Amino acid sequence: MAFKPSLKRKFIPPDEDVNVTPIMNLVVVLIPLLLATAEWVKLGLIESKMPPAGGGGGELTEQVEKKALSLIVSLEEEQIAVSLFGATAANPEVDGSVYYRTIPLLPTGEYDYAVLNTLLHDVRLDVVEQGVLAEQIPNLDRFGNPVYNPDGTPQLINDYIYSDVYNVRISAPNHLPFQSLISVLDACRVYKDEDGHLSYLFPVPFMGKLS
């Protein structure tokens, strides 16, 4: 007795599009969640203020031959040496004034960054600020164009007799710990008084190596 072929063997399922809507909904929910819980890399930047090219321009600046301050901070094995105008340990005096100072290490063997910061503040007040040629003159970029503050007002600066009033040359050994270098840069960059006011010292460093 012959049986009728089953219809299931000839059934061809119809083509249907895959519904990706649930997956898309899940992705839309997960992306903000992952971004909110992600740990981003934190970078510490040292803000620097570049010295104005040409000292801000002006006829007075062009008539005066500027000097080099030549501020050098040397991180030595047993002390920090601060030098101005090319003064050295062998010849600490320049024009009758002492411009070579040393800061001994702390009892813990670390550098005394607080004393360094205070000494550089004294240099800023007693040496740099005493060499002002003109006060509150317009700051110009290297192309001679005025520099403006974020609020649109002209940026005013002092013009000094020294050509490198924002620069400091830091000499350090190769084995100096990175955190020690950062602490020195911070001590050279700004000074914080008792009222919490910050003032720039020498925010443009140049790095060197002790011989």
Q: How many whole angstroms separate alpha carbon 196 and alpha carbon 45?
A: 21
Residuewise pLDDT in 10s, the chain (211 residues): 556 665 556 656 666 677 878 888 888 888 888 887 776 665 555 554 444 444 444 444 456 688 899 999 999 988 999 999 888 888 888 877 889 999 999 999 999 999 999 999 999 999 998 888 877 788 877 777 888 888 888 888 788 888 888 899 999 888 888 898 899 999 999 999 888 888 889 988 888 765 5
pLDDT at 75: 92
Q: How many whole angstroms separate alpha carbon 92 and alpha carbon 99?
A: 6
**Residue 172: count of CB within 10 angstroms of its CB:** 18
pLDDT at 60: 42
